Chains A and B, each alone.
Chain A
């Protein structure tokens, strides 16, 4: 089996599994309690929070553990607007890139409608910032959208689907100049395995993280909140996470996130180079073996693990089936709750014609990928595409 879908989820790192093991049995306490069992859990949670803070260059108090990337993105959007409503700020607009993850886009759409009032949020105007043909934010167009009344700007660190790295420092500079009252949020869920999170947390005031994309466990993530006064809770209850996220702490998950982040931070450059070399080998192999295979994004503009291809005259649904039969796991993009592939808003924003988008496949490599994986995948793609074109 050749697993090239690390952008969907990455297998658990052995060190993470080991660190989490006690929380499946021995360390079961509720970290909010006062007795010895609880204290043991509390200490592990506090340690985990400090370790996450260390990696991202933040204070421990700025780390809010969540259930994952989607909750972090929801908290960034709804939490910012909820805090805004409390403060009586006149800001009435938010700006996000057109290629944000659905968790950001759907949250922004939700606060643009009157249903936002149910959460005490006045509906805001949502402005979508376009991207170029390679999926990178059009910074000039963003500048036009940034005005004094913008409350939140959300630009992901790198795109989950095509892998394009976004110019976050330039965005941060623009926001500071054109929309000084705005909070800058970056969804770093996909980028966290390869890019410098401390730099991202200097540029942005809010950073979304998810453990399972990093070889950590599913169901845990974090939102880094540089200015706690500017984010209100969206889950109400016992006031956990300094009243920014109620709910009994997922202690083992938090430990898993911390260990995954630390392990990545220790080997980031080395692993990035190794994976990029494998990815380049995969892309080169596919381009020379498959006539008409086109990379959606230049490799030097995207994450080391991403290679997003379009195969003319081929349906991605069919190619994925034949690759699966050949033992190769790849992705055709976002799927709905039924499991069916949906048309990609990312490719649409990049101006890819719908019929070309139908032949789009993402290969994403990661910490377990080997050279023989890559060579097997090239051969599988070659024979599968040839079969479909026959």
Chain B
């Protein structure tokens, strides 16, 4: 098999490349330059490219550097900024996988005569007799199926994820055994295009106008001060909000950019048994799941699996959760898994803002109210 392996310069993709070489495949490495600005982590720095290149040298494979900065700016960075400007909390790694790695790079791999694209993600592609399926990685703590949940069968047919079968510890010990220079390299944590010293606030502050917002109590409607930079505020956030009149913790339950208003509530207000999804963003691995079907959902990159039931009406899609969960910030990806085989990804979508008309909180959003009657879906 001719394999193009995306090498970020980290240990996972280094070992992915090594495993493919050991299996006797014809392997070529490629590192993406995605970001022209300052950055100290992720897939973009010269030091990371050097790590990838030296690992490729050690493995005896050809290594290329591809410059996809323009595509990354258009498909990942600009939408990231626009999403924050609208008061949402985007997940740029998901969009990078969607548009860059498993679209642009996968297309390029095929055009260059490769049979498959490999990455160092911790997830598994199961190829049985039928169509391929995306499964969670073996290492539950490092599982990255969430950020790959938008992949379709057509993509999975051309994707291999060699380290998904290993724990992170096994990956590192394999790298050490081979003497790869990336064996002890720390995991990348943050958004790769945001420099640690500058932070999200500094980055977004250069790219968009940040506004003060009135902090409004969701139960009383009273204004309880102001917050700076509401575009950086995330639904579910507690930091910077202070406590309520009763001394209890306060959480953000809604960010309303046009109204310059951040709605806050107590413990009970920040949990819900209902997740509204953006129908335009729903993807299915292999054909749609239907209204009423049981699923398991993961609501954030490192969130626990939660059982739920799909609710689909004319122009709306939602998940009724088996138990109330912390509110999902609009813009976040919701990964959907098979209820009967909860390792298996079935689809993905991006969460919508709970109450598009404003700060009004409807009954179905209250804690514990997992069961929703069809009437609640009418705005």
Contacts and interface: CB of A to CB of B under 8 A. Distances in A.
B44 to A, nearest CB: 9
A388 B65 contact: no
A336 interface: yes
A387 B67 contact: no
Interface residues of A, number: 17
A338 B112 contact: no
Contacts of B219: none
Interface residues of B, number: 18
Q: Is the interface of B mostly helix, strand, loop or mixed?
A: mixed
A338 B108 contact: no
Given A322-B112, A336-B33, A388-B111, A317 B66 contact: yes
A353 interface: no
Given A340-B33, A340-B67, A342-B67, A321 B112 contact: yes
Nearest to A355: B70
B66 A340 contact: yes
A1 to B, nearest CB: 14
Interface string B110-128: 0111000000000000000
Contacts, number: 40
B334 to A, nearest CB: 34
Contacts of B45: 338
Contact of B113 (A315, A343, A354, A387): A387
B112 A318 contact: yes
Interface in A362-390: 387-388
Nearest to B49: A338
A336 B53 CA distance: 15
B46 A317 contact: no
B53 A339 contact: yes
A321 B46 contact: no
A340 B69 CA distance: 10
Contacts of A342: 67
A337 interface: yes
B228 to A, nearest CB: 32
Interface in B100-116: 108, 111-113
Given A317-B66, A318-B108, A321-B64, A337 B113 contact: no
Interface string B291-321: 0000000000000000000000000000000
B65 A339 contact: yes
B54 to A, nearest CB: 12
Contacts of A318: 108, 111-112
A341 interface: yes
A287 B378 CA distance: 63
B9 to A, nearest CB: 10
Given A317-B66, A317-B67, A342-B67, A337 B111 contact: no
Contacts of A338: 31, 33, 45-46, 49-50, 65
A339 B65 CA distance: 6
A318 B49 CA distance: 19
B259 to A, nearest CB: 39
A387 B113 CA distance: 9
A19 B45 CA distance: 41
Among B45, B69, B111, the one with the most A-chain Cβ atoms within 10 Å of its Cβ is: B111
Interface in A289-332: 315, 317-318, 321-322, 324
Contact of B49 (A321, A324, A339, A387): A339
Contacts of B111: 318, 387-388
Contact of A337 (B46, B64, B108): B46
Interface in B32-64: 33, 45-46, 49-50, 53, 62, 64
A91 to B, nearest CB: 34
Interface in A339-357: 339-343, 354
B71 to A, nearest CB: 11
A296 to B, nearest CB: 20
B65 A340 contact: yes
Nearest to A339: B65
A366 B33 CA distance: 31
Contacts of B50: 338
A317 B50 CA distance: 19
Contacts of A321: 64, 112
Nearest to B45: A338
A388 B53 CA distance: 25
A123 B49 CA distance: 35
A341 B67 contact: yes
A324 B33 CA distance: 20
Contacts of B49: 338-340
Contacts of B113: 322, 387
Nearest to A342: B67
A69 to B, nearest CB: 22
A46 B82 CA distance: 64
Contacts of B70: 343, 354
A374 to B, nearest CB: 25
7 contacts: A317-B66, A318-B112, A336-B67, A338-B49, A339-B49, A387-B111, A387-B113
Q: Report, nearest first, the 7 A-B pairs whose CB atoms are least far apart.
A: A340-B33, A340-B67, A338-B49, A339-B65, A340-B65, A338-B46, A337-B46
Interface of B: 31, 33, 45-46, 49-50, 53, 62, 64-67, 69-70, 108, 111-113
Given A317-B64, A340-B67, A388-B111, 7 more contacts: A317-B66, A318-B111, A322-B112, A322-B113, A338-B49, A339-B49, A340-B66
